[in-house]
Amino acid sequence: MSNETKQVSIDTKTIPVLRSMSRLKELQHNPLEFLSGLTAEFGDIVQIKLFFWPVIIINHPDYIKRVLQENYRNYDKNVPIFNLFRPILGNGLVTNYGGESWLRQRRLMQPAFHRQRTAALGTIITESTRQLLTQWEGPASRGEAVDVADTMMHLTLNIVGRSLFGIDITGKTHTFGKAFSDANAFLLEYFNRPFPPLSVPTPRHRRFHRDVRSLDKVVYEIVQQRRASQEAHEDLLSMLIEARDEETGEGMNDQQLRDEVMTLLIAGHETVANALAWAWYLLAQHPEVEQKLQAELAQVLAGRPPTIEDLPRLSYTRMVFEESMRLYPPVWIIMRKSLAEDTLGGYPIPAQTYIAWSTYAMHRHPEFWERPEEFYPEHFTTEQVARRPRHAYIPFSHGPRICIGNTFALTEAQLVLATIAQRYSMKLVPDHPVTPNPLMTLSPRQGIRMYLQAR
């Protein structure tokens, strides 16, 4: 027998590559359907070319778990999708690449989102929602349609302002919301045609910078008013202002505060607002689900306003919202970059490679969902959840960089759903087009116009 050492080679799988330029053009025109179609054509991993960059698209819970949790330190957020929104968000918690800087930010803000603190905010959520119901009395009595998507934006922005920053920004929600909507749409267009540089003063660039200045004006006013206030506050804004660097003892400057407040205002209202809008849209199309929801609300609440303490018994309300986020996840695409070599399911991942996946596609993967294309809240019964891989459903991402406000968002959404559904049923305006618009979040392109029917 030979004493010669034998070299044992480990075979790795070859990632399929999409080379069709005509297919890649679909990514610009209909990214949701394009990304969903890749699984049927190539399986759960494929490489495409996005402009100059090779990007590996994954669509399997095990691969996503590897990137977000098992080897998360190897994957940072220095990627085009997040860098695209830096002109708006700056270096806030969402766009921070990672490492010690991000960890300090996360640790600083985490206490503000503790479950006990979230529970104390329930009254603010229901009070704000009941104020909206009062505003709706006129349109409802006159039989006028309302844009539910737009209304949810104003509602959640007001809730975030009161809950996290202790301020009433009702009078500024229209200005802030429109400026962000316009800037958001521009950035998606710019992502598809990134020329000339934003520093070149073209008419559309000047409009974009004007929108950012409008956003800044609202945020800086919030910061300056609080700095000048002599009153004691126990909210996130006070925590940010009073925070001190452990080494230097210095607090945040106005730019740092601006980035964090801007991030939390936008991320804290935009995602929940869109998810709620899609929930009303889906309920209007599925009266059998709405009937089950109404039955639960009648049994548990008996006509009184919901409270935080009611949420454990409002299980179907939660299932309705979770199923809405499954079909229309606010954060519809996530991206990372590998820092070193890795493998995903036996496929080699080179260093400095972009990895992306669509939660919209993952949430409709036929291998993991009983009725992938249907609105079926029973996907979220205890039994169904236990049978499903954890990373098959990731509306708030997962791992160490899971959305810091996920508990707050779920609490807010359930209370808003329960409060409004007690008072109104909603019917879609006939022939009004409703199509998903994949911007920073997944919003309805033309809004969602609905008639309010008092219960």
Annotated binding-site residue numbers for heme? 403
Provide the token pair at 166: 């202790």
Length in residues, the chain? 455
Query: Which amino acid, one-letter code, is at 434?
Result: V
Residue 19: CB atoms within 10 A of its CB come to 10
Short-list 330, 293, 52, 277, CA closest to 153: 277
DSSP string, 2-48: --PPPPPPPP-PPPPB---HHHHHHHHH-HHHHHHHHHHHH-SEEEE
DSSP secondary structure letter of residue 395: B
C-alpha to C-alpha distance for 244 and 248, rounded to whole angstroms: 8
H runs (alpha helix) in 286-381 = 287-301, 315-327, 359-362
Query: Which amino acid, one-letter code, is at 261?
Result: V
Short-list 324, 299, 323, CA closest to 310: 299
For residue 229, give every residue at least 6 positions away whose Cβ sits within 8 Å of its Cβ, in sequence order, or none.
none
- The answer to whether residues 87 and 211 touch, using CB atoms and an 8 Å cutoff, is no
C-alpha to C-alpha distance for 225 and 210, rounded to whole angstroms: 23
Query: Per the annotation, where are the binding residues?
Result: 403
Cα angle: 445, vertex 446, 447; to 5 degrees: 95
